[in-house]
Amino acid sequence: MKSEDMSIEETVKAISNNEFTTEEVLERKLSRIKSIDEQVNALVSCNPEKVLQNAKEVDTKINSGDSSALPLAGISIACKDNICVEGYSTTCGSKALENTPSPYTATVVEKTIQNGGVVIGKSNLDEFGLGSTTLTSEYGCTCNPLALDRVAGDGSAAAVASGQAMIGIATDAGGAVRQSATYCGVAGLRPTAGAVSRYGVALSTSSVSQVGFISKYVNDFNILMELLAGFDPCDSSTVDFPGVLPFDKKEKLVAGIPEKTWEDMDKDQEIALQSTRDLLNTIGIELSSVNLPNFKAGLKAYYILALAEAYSNLSRFDGIRFGYHYDGGNLEDWYLKTRGKTFGEEAKRRVVMGANILKEGNFYDYYQKALQVWTLVKNDFYRALKNCDFLVLPVNRDLPTQVSENINFLEHYKRDEYCAPVSLAGLPSISMPIVEKDNLPRGVQLVGKPFQEKLLVSIATELEARRSYSLKSLV
Amino acid sequence: MKLNQDELDMLLQTVKIEANEEEATKLQNDSIKLEDWFASIEEMNTEEVAPTFYNYYGGNVQREDNPRVASEEKKKKLFNIAENFKEGFYRVPPIIE
């Protein structure tokens, strides 16, 4: 088996058996990046010298008899460019942060490196992470490795799908990890809120964003959660236990299927849902109807919060402490010009509309209302999960957008319809492709109870083994 | 929610973003679209529903505020990325010319 086709477990085992070295694995990844990233544009930055130096350090530790302490040895990681990694800039896909060095390394990346993982590069994203297409990135759009005329959604997913990295570490607010993974034919995990540290991560929608993972193989998520989840003294929003519950296999599992037809959904996505229901039947999982009456309102509540939080969270980008700036005559001109000339259209829209939502006269009608709808949406999920072990939901409403397509901003927002309510509920979710048509995957997301990522991985592994889909990158 | 020219000018001043005429027109149009889109949520009955403000085990949570002092090394790294940091202060242009 080639190292490109291996899971984390297989790669680490092969390295410890001296089948190849970490340096050799990383050299192959760098060569892959060199040959295809011009077409895909998954990575914003990559420093081959640093990558090889880090790989050599891992090999040195292994040769000194330390391999058991490195359960991620040889694993190449693409980190979304809103996650700080010392030695790399963190641009958040914006001109406002062009060439801004990371002052420290995010906890989740620090843990990855301590376990033998090597950061292969920083991956592309929408400006400040405000979207799931990369169409608003200062560094151009990331193309889908399965269909280069379509978006990938997120650079990390494209990097994993095209073999430039084994694992993607990315952020998911309204669904970036889950949607992009399915767009690119790989798997995405959004962990339970509070399970994985967000220290060192620049978030625009901070109340619901989580750090998630992307991989070709769902089983990798168990290893990543065991190693990377848990309490972080630098992030008070993390839980004070290891962050993932052990999974006791039950005799009979029940899948909750929402009692509603998914309006406006591409009919091929419905085929993925039906196929999943059939596969679950095959593996002996009982299907049960559940009701999520406020699901549809979740998207709008999410966007009210996202706009308000963008206004607040982007206020720090003024070019004084870090980032790009335009000189003005006085401080006021400095602010106006710096933010006016470096923020893109979507960032400006979110900041202005966020301020509008929070102003007197709108606050109670919109912001307060959204916080209350958040409660309703969350309660629906918790009620539904009392009678089942996990839920099966769609992940994408449509196929990935065409790169050249000019879509109204609201249409982009509506693409988060199935992921944003799950984000509000703070529950773990795995998205994965199930079927394909015209080489484009259609998938589902499995949504579990808090900290039951391992149960989701176990079910997703069964689906992975039986689904008709198999990844075939175009490039 | 819908913004007239004066309201937009005031907001642009508040958020410290310079916008040209074309951008300003777009933002006004966007405010109309968002008002229409959010209309259904305004109509929802949320009387006696407690707001959620953070998700943690499915409920709101507030922890003790335990301020920590950042390490000198970390502080130095942060100051170093500023273009104009001298003698313990970020230097900015004059507030009044």
Average pLDDT per block of 10 residues along chain B, 97 residues long: 95 96 97 96 92 74 72 87 90 85
Backbone angles phi, psi at A160, to 5 degrees: -70, -45
Beta pairing partners, A201: A83
Q: Which residue from A336, A375, A426 is facing B17, i.e. has the nearest CB?
A: A336
> Measured between beta carbons, which residues in chain B are less than 8 angstroms from residue A193?
55-56
Distance between A337 CA and the closest CA of chain B, angstroms: 6
| Structure confidence at residue A268 (pLDDT) | 83
User: Residue B61 has what pLDDT?
Assistant: 65
Per-residue confidence (pLDDT) for residue B60, from 0 to 100: 64
Cβ atoms of A115 and A68 closer than 8 Å: no
Q: Which structural domain range is residue B10 located in?
A: 5-42
- The number of residues making up chain B comes to 97
Query: What local confidence, expressed as pLDDT, does residue B57 receive?
Result: 64
Question: Taking each helix axis from N to C terminus, what angle separates A22-40 and A8-16, rounded to the nearest 10 degrees?
Answer: 140
State the total domains in chain B.
1
Domain ranges (residues) in chain A: 3-242
pLDDT at B65 (0 to 100): 72
CATH of A3-242, one of 3.90.1300.10, 3.30.930.10, 3.40.190.150, 3.40.50.20: 3.90.1300.10
Q: Which stretches of chain A drop beneath a pLDDT of 70?
A: 261, 473-474
Cα–Cα distances in Å, from A59 out to A55, A223, B18? 6, 20, 52
Q: Is residue B12 part of a domain?
A: yes
Identity of the residue in A193, A341, A356 whose CB atom sits nearest the CB atom of B31? A356
- What is the spatial distance between Cα A136 and Cα A401, in angstroms, rounded to a whole number? 13
Distance from CA of B22 to the nearest CA of A (A): 11
* pLDDT of amino acid A139: 96
Nearest CB neighbour to A362, from listed B1, B27, B46: B1
Whether B33 maps to a domain, the answer reads: yes
A320 shares contact with chain B (CB less than 8 Å): yes
Cβ separation B94–A331 shorter than 8 A: yes
Tell whether A104 is within 8 A of chain B (Cβ).
yes
Check if the beta carbon of residue A299 is closer than 8 Å to that of residue A411.
Answer: no
8 A C-beta contact, residue A107 and residue A234: yes
pLDDT at A302: 98
Query: CB distance from B75 to chain A under 8 Å?
Result: no
Contacts of B76 in chain A (CB under 8 A): none
State the pLDDT at residue A355.
Answer: 98
Structure tokens at A406: 């000019």
What confidence score (pLDDT) does residue A70 get?
94
pLDDT of residue A209: 96
Residue B58 is predicted with a pLDDT of: 58
- On whether residue B11 sits in a domain, the answer given is yes
What letter represents residue A395's amino acid? V
Q: Which of A85, A105, A372 to mutate to test the interface with B (most CBs of B within 10 A)?
A: A372
A-chain residue closest to B29, CA distance:
A349
A381: Cβ–Cβ under 8 A, 6 or more apart, which residues?
A292, A391, A421, A422, A425, A427, A447
Q: Within an 8 Å CB–CB cutoff, is residue B74 touching chain A?
A: yes
Please report whether residue B74 resides in a domain: no
Residues B31 and B12: beta-carbon distance below 8 Å: no
d(CA A8, CA A116): 11
Provide ipTM, 2 decimals: 0.93
Tokens of A204: 């625009």
Q: Look at residue B91 and tell me if it is in a domain.
A: no
Contact B52 A193 (CB under 8 A): no
First-last CA distance in chain A: 20
Strand partners, A333: none
* A positions 35-54 inside 8 Å of B (CB): none
- Written in H, E and C, the secondary structure of chain A is CCHHHCCHHHHHHHHHCCCCCHHHHHHHHHHHHHHHHHHHCCEEECCHHHHHHHHHHHHHHHHHHHHHHCCCCCCEEEEECCECCCCCECCCCCHHHCCCECCCCCHHHHHHHHCCCEEEEEECCCHHHCCCCCCCCCCCCCEECCEEEEECCCHHHHHHHCCCCCEEEEEECCCHHHHHHHHHCCEEEECCCCCECCCCECCCCCCCCEEEEEECCCCHHHHHHHHHECCECCECCCCCCCCCCCCCCCCCCEEEEECCCCCCCCHHHHHHHHHHHHHHHHCCCEEEEECCCCHHHHHHHHHHHHHHHHHHHHHHCCCCCCCCCCCCCCHHHHHHHHHHHHCCHHHHHHHHHHHHHHCCCCHHHHHHHHHHHHHHHHHHHHHHCCCCCEEEEECCCCCCCECCCCCCHHHHHHCCCCCHHHHHHCCCEEEEEEEEECCEEEEEEEEECCCCHHHHHHHHHHHHHHCCCCCCCCC
Q: Residue A32 CA to chain centroid, in angstroms?
A: 22
Q: Is residue B75 part of a domain?
A: no
Q: Which residues contact A11 (CB under 8 A, 6 or more apart)?
A: A3, A25, A73, A74, A75, A166
pLDDT at B62: 67
